[in-house]
Structures are given as structure tokens and as C-alpha cells.
Structure 1
Amino acid sequence: MSELPNTPIRLLVVDDDPLVRGGLQAMLGGAAELEILGEATNGVEALKAVEALKPDVVLMDIRMPQMDGLTATQKLRARENPPEIIILTTLDTDDHVLRALRAGASGFLLKYTPPAEIVAAIKRVAAGEPILSPTVTRKLMNHISDDWQPNRQQIAKDQFAQLSTREQEVAKAIGEGKTNAQIAQQLFMSVPTVKAHITRILTKLDFNNRVQIALLAHDAQ
């Protein structure tokens, strides 16, 4: 995990609902830790805004006209030095959250989350810590039916087999939602050693963050 930035976290808000955008601006505009660079109303605008404004974090809605948040997330995360992306969702109606996480999003926030929790989540993501609890992971995996592909389990097993035994243990612990400190305690290693294993896993599998490691551990079962 990287250190929290000393300068304000540069934020872009992407949502087609003007009420949501206005609400987020009002809630987050007074936070000294954040600098809201601007807004976008769909994925096409988001791609242009990210290129022009260089935000650290993007709050990304899923369902939008012209280009949805899933497609925009995939395109942004494929860029060099991409921003961190937090998915804005209602959970009960958005079918593609898990696919967005697979594409490299750093987690999600329920719309209308209390301001203090949103600020805390943005700070965590900016510091390199994805926001996805074990409970929410299970809900998403149970909720989303159209994401499963017949060969996904075999692909995941093949990827998992590329890892050393110790890396597999770390990956499984990440899949259980454990923090670095909890993993270190469970596997009798130091936190820096855990971080080193995670870095090697990300490099080996060409992943963006530990959310993707968690999903791999789930798929490989």
C-alpha cells in the first residue's frame, strides 16, 4: 500500500443523474482532503475528462447513456498510469459490478452513502487499499448471474497454479477479506513480506489490485 498523499486527492465524479452529481459535489466539496476537478455524465465524457484533468480517483456510475461505467472502467484501467476507480452502485439493481471489479475497479460505494464514509473510502483507495468487504463480496457473487463463463474456473485454476505455495496462501487469505496485518499473523510472516508477496502476485498475473486477486481465489475453488 502506498502512503496517503500530502496534497488533496484529485477527484472526478461520473454520473448521468444531475441530482447525484450535485449531491456528491455538495457532500464532498467541503472536505479538505479532496479536490473535485469536475464532472462527467457518461463514459465517453469520463474518458476525455480523465485525459484532460488527470484525477487520482474516479467515482463511476454503472448505468449511463452512450458508454456505461463498466466499459469506461475497462478502457481507463487499460491506460498507462490509470486513476483508481470506485463504482457507484445501488447493488440490488446493477448487474455488472463484479465485472467492473474484474476490470480493475478498486471497489464500490452504495449511492447515498454518508459523506464521512465516502471521504474515508476515497482516501483508502487513493492509498492503494481497495474497498470491498467479505460480506459484500459474497453478496455480489451470489447476486450476479450473467458474469459467469463456463471456462472461467479453469482459467482461474491455471492462473492460480502459476503462483508459489506461499503466494497461493496469501491469495486465499485476500479472498477471505483479510488485511495485510491479519494475513501476516495467520501465515507467521511480517507485513512487509505479505506486501512483497502481493506485489509478486500482481506482477505475475498482470493484475491491477488485490480485488482481482480475491476474485481469482474465489474462481479457482
Structure 2
Amino acid sequence: MRRENRGAIQQFALRSDSSLWPNFLNGQPGQPVRVLLVDDDPHFRRVIAQELVADLRVSLVAQGGSAREGRRLIALHEFDVMMIDLNLGDGSGFDLIDYMKSIRPAAEAVVISAMEDEQHALHAFELGATGYLLKNSWFGNFSQAVLQVVNGGASITPNLARRLLLKLDHAQGDAQMIRVSSKPDKLSDREKEVLRMVANGYTSAEIGARLTISCQTVNSHIKNIYRKLQVRTRAQAVSFAGARGLL
């Protein structure tokens, strides 16, 4: 079979699979998940971009090859997920995750990196990332990783996930129990309203339009929600509030 024919068949398969995506999940062919891609490796960036573009459930809104360009694109574009390399040559992907969370707290971050040690992964999660994929051992689907995180899940390369599980000790478990049992600060009625809309999958812009407030005001509410619930991501906030009847 000719190479171009194989490529066409693979692309058709990806597009066909999107029709099987349950209609109650975020990321539909008519309303795709918006992705920002930042990686300084042009070849790897092209591989990921081609896969994302081939899936109707995902829309690649922009891509960049440096930390400086990444900061510009974060400020310029509305997006749901940022796929980010940690080593960008002119800066750190950690800084970009932190910057993204400061101005677009509802957006998710998925790391795509060659750095395999657990400390890098844990630091990325502490900054608010909900996915960590290793470039040399990711055998899955990049668009699938995007869809997982926007629907409240996490996407981690399997062998790294296993290593992280082995690294967790009883002290970390005790610390988590203390945090969970602690009483969170009370959310205002407006913050509860915003959180319910976040739980239903609305973006900051959509929430602002429905509540007739600015996108910046929505993001301020989301920051306050994160602070009060002691969480770093949208999925954590929804899970934490839902488990305690705050929604």
C-alpha cells in the first residue's frame, strides 16, 4: 500500500472514531476542544499537530516553538488545553504553566516532555497540570489525552504513572487526608454559580456571556474558588465541591 494511501486511511479512521464519542462529553465535532501547542522541537510539534488536526473533536488554535512565543499565544488566544514541553530552550515550561494558570485558570495543561523523573512530573502537577506524557514512551493518542483532561480526568504515560504510585508514601497520604478533612472557606452565591457552570463545561468567555460579566471577572471568581477550596485545577474544584455538596 502506498504511503499516502496509508496516511489517508489513518486520517479517515481518526475522523470516523470521533463520531463515536458520547454526546454528553466535552469535545464534539461541532464544538471541538481548543488546544494551544508549545514545543521547541519542530518535528515533534508537527507530529502532534497533524494528529490533533485529524480529530474533529479537537481544534488546534495556535502553536509556538519558544517560551516567549508561548506567553504571547497564551495571552492572545482563548483555549481549553495547553500542550507544553518543559524544556523550551529560551525558558521553562513550568513557568508557562504557572503563567497560564494566572490568567486562564480554567484551562488545562498537559505536559509532553522527554524528562522522565518523578520530580518534574510532581512539580508540573503542583502547578496545576492534569497530564504528563513522555515523548519516548507515549503509545496512545494525543487528542485522546486532551479529551480526557477536559472531561475531568488525567492523562499520564502508564510507566510514569506506575512510578509515581510507587513513590507515594504514607506521609503524603496523611497530608492528603488532613487537607480533605479540613473545612473549606465558604463560597459566595456568585462563586457557586460560576463553579456550577464550570462543572457543566462552559469556558470563561461563555460563563461571562451568560452572566453578563467580563471574562476577567469570571477568571477572578475562579481564582477565588481555587483559593478557597485549596485546589489548582478545574477538575479538582468540581470534584472537591461536588463531594461536599457545595454545588
Question: Shorter-chain TM-score: what band?
Answer: 0.5 to 0.7
CA-CA distance at 1:90 after TM superposition = 2.7
CA-CA distance at 1:11 after TM superposition = 0.9
Residue 19 of structure 1: aligned partner: 43
CA-CA distance at 1:30 after TM superposition = 1.2
- Whether the 8 Å contact between 2:66 and 2:90 is mirrored in structure 1 is yes
> Alignment RMSD, CA only?
3.6
- Whether the 8 Å contact between 1:42 and 1:69 is mirrored in structure 2 is no
Residue 73 of structure 1: aligned partner: 97
Deviations 1:145-170 (A, max 9, x none): xxxxxxx9997676455259xxxxxx
Q: 2:55 aligns with which of 23, 31, 37?
A: 31
C-alpha distance in structure 2 between counterparts of 1:38 and 1:28, whole Å: 11
Q: 1:4 aligns with which of 26, 29, 50?
A: 26
- Whether the 8 Å contact between 2:133 and 2:157 is mirrored in structure 1 is no
C-alpha distance in structure 1 between counterparts of 2:130 and 2:48, whole Å: 19
Q: Secondary structure of 1:78's partner?
A: helix
CA distance 1:203–1:138, shift in 2 (3 Å): farther
CA-CA distance at 1:96 after TM superposition = 1.7
For 1:171-182, list aligned pairs within 5 A: none
Deviations 1:170-197 (A, max 9, x none): xxxxxxxxxxxxxxxxxxxxxxxxxxxx
- Whether the 8 Å contact between 2:118 and 2:163 is mirrored in structure 1 is no
**Runs of 5+ consecutive residues of structure 1 not aligned to the other structure:** 144-151, 165-199, 214-221
Residue 207 of structure 1: aligned partner: 232
Kindly name which structure, 1 or 2, has the bigger radius of gyration based on alpha carbons.
Answer: 2
- Whether the 8 Å contact between 2:118 and 2:160 is mirrored in structure 1 is no
CA distance 1:106–1:202, shift in 2 (3 Å): farther
TM-score by length of 1: 0.62
Residue 162 of structure 1: aligned partner: 182
Question: What letter matches 1:206 in structure 2?
Answer: V
- Whether the 8 Å contact between 2:48 and 2:142 is mirrored in structure 1 is no
CA-CA distance at 1:20 after TM superposition = 0.9
Residue 42 of structure 1: aligned partner: 66
Matched residue count: 169
CA-CA distance at 1:74 after TM superposition = 1.4
C-alpha distance in structure 2 between counterparts of 1:138 and 1:201, whole Å: 28
CA-CA distance at 1:205 after TM superposition = 1.7
CA-CA distance at 1:66 after TM superposition = 2.2
TM-score by length of 2: 0.56
C-alpha distance in structure 1 between counterparts of 2:82 and 2:115, whole Å: 18
CA-CA distance at 1:56 after TM superposition = 0.9
- Whether the 8 Å contact between 2:26 and 2:33 is mirrored in structure 1 is no
**Runs of 5+ consecutive residues of structure 2 not aligned to the other structure:** 1-23, 185-224, 240-247
CA-CA distance at 1:127 after TM superposition = 1.5
Q: 1:107 aligns with which of 103, 126, 131?
A: 131
C-alpha distance in structure 1 between counterparts of 2:153 and 2:120, whole Å: 21
- Residue 64 in structure 1 maps to residue 84 in structure 2: no
- Whether the 8 Å contact between 2:116 and 2:160 is mirrored in structure 1 is no
C-alpha distance in structure 2 between counterparts of 1:133 and 1:11, whole Å: 19
Q: Secondary structure of 1:96's partner?
A: helix
Q: Secondary structure of 1:207's partner?
A: coil
CA distance 1:141–1:4, shift in 2 (3 Å): same
C-alpha distance in structure 1 between counterparts of 2:118 and 2:173, whole Å: 23
- Whether the 8 Å contact between 2:148 and 2:155 is mirrored in structure 1 is yes
CA-CA distance at 1:8 after TM superposition = 0.9
- Whether the 8 Å contact between 2:126 and 2:232 is mirrored in structure 1 is no
Residue 76 of structure 2: aligned partner: 52
CA distance 1:82–1:45, shift in 2 (3 Å): farther
Q: 2:151 aligns with which of 127, 143, 163?
A: 127
